[in-house]
Structure 1
């Protein structure tokens, strides 16, 4: 697998925008339909959700070499170093992008739920839990710097991923009125 983090940031953003556009068109075409079409769309999102979990593990844990045990608990430390650190913006954006697909696919993978707000909140909490688990594993096994900023950015990425579902739900209700 190519090292996604090594791609130019502009290229990564273009790829993400293209993939979001494709997903949004498919969501618009398939989610409003009932029966087998919706079920197929849900299964596609389950597969994409599992793939995004694998991608998160691949980028954050698997294949990393053992180094020093490091931890950075100061929130927004990376943001505060932007003026001195040319890679800070890239790290922030990549951490957000890494968890975006998780938030995008999880609400549909979970299926139709009566209380959609709870489902959205659950998705964000799961994103937070996965991110926190990754940071704990990185710290425990000395395979990366455990950073509070990573948890914040990853959770924000999950939230941004859930947003299209929230907007689709809102505009779907507006259309029915």
Structure 2
């Protein structure tokens, strides 16, 4: 059992990179490839339109807010699994959160533009913002998990139970 654990720890970066790449492919599959081509190009570039519907009492506001929540939840794993890359870009050196937020939003922009050009969904500005927020939340969850893991590992090494 110890040998398997040691192998997992030794290869954790490779495993994390593999999970990250697999998740990006899942995102592309789920948002583009498994959808049928629609009847035309659709876009809604109104910022936070679902929240305006909520405040004006639109009958479908709960469903619309639900889509935003799903978009946030959808990219949390992206932020958690984002690979730890040593960057030589000075702008992102001390701002890893900004890198993950930017890459998450760029992936979302790619998906939204592709949905629009291939007629495979509604291109929405809110999706980009919610997906970016999800990747940002995922980053912070990964920070908390890393601190808990380190504290647990350190306490077990000291014999503290």
TM-score (norm 2): 0.73
Q: CA deviation at 1:38?
A: 4.6
1:18-62 CA-partner distances (Å, limit 9, x unpaired)? xxxxxxxxxxxx9xxxx9655422122112111211221122101
| Counterpart-to-counterpart distance in 2, 1:56 and 1:89 | 20
Residue 91 (structure 1) aligned to one of 50, 55, 67: 67
Partner of 1:148 in structure 2? 125
| Counterpart-to-counterpart distance in 2, 1:41 and 1:169 | 13
Q: Kindly tell me: are residues 65 and 52 of structure 1, through their superposed partners in 2, closer, same or farther at Cα, counting changes over 3 Å?
A: same
**Count of residue pairs brought into register by the alignment:** 139
**1:110 counterpart = 2:81:** no
- Aligned to 1:93, the other structure's residue is in SS state helix
1:139-177 CA-partner distances (Å, limit 9, x unpaired)? 11111110011001000000010002334577869x9xx
Residue 100 (structure 1) aligned to one of 62, 76, 80: 76
The answer to whether the 8 A contact 1:42-1:111 is kept is no
Residue 159 (structure 1) aligned to one of 126, 136, 141: 136
The answer to whether the 8 A contact 1:69-1:139 is kept is yes
Residue 71 (structure 1) aligned to one of 24, 43, 46: 43
The answer to whether the 8 A contact 2:79-2:142 is kept is no
| Counterpart-to-counterpart distance in 1, 2:35 and 2:29 | 9
Larger Rg: 2
Q: Mark the runs of 5 or more structure 2 residues left unpaired by the alignment.
A: 155-161
1:58-81 CA-partner distances (Å, limit 9, x unpaired)? 221012111121111111012222
Partner of 2:105 in structure 1? 128
TM-score (norm 1): 0.67
The answer to whether the 8 A contact 1:95-1:150 is kept is yes
Which structure is higher in RCO with an 8 Å CA cutoff and minimum separation 6?
A: 2
Partner of 2:29 in structure 1? 58
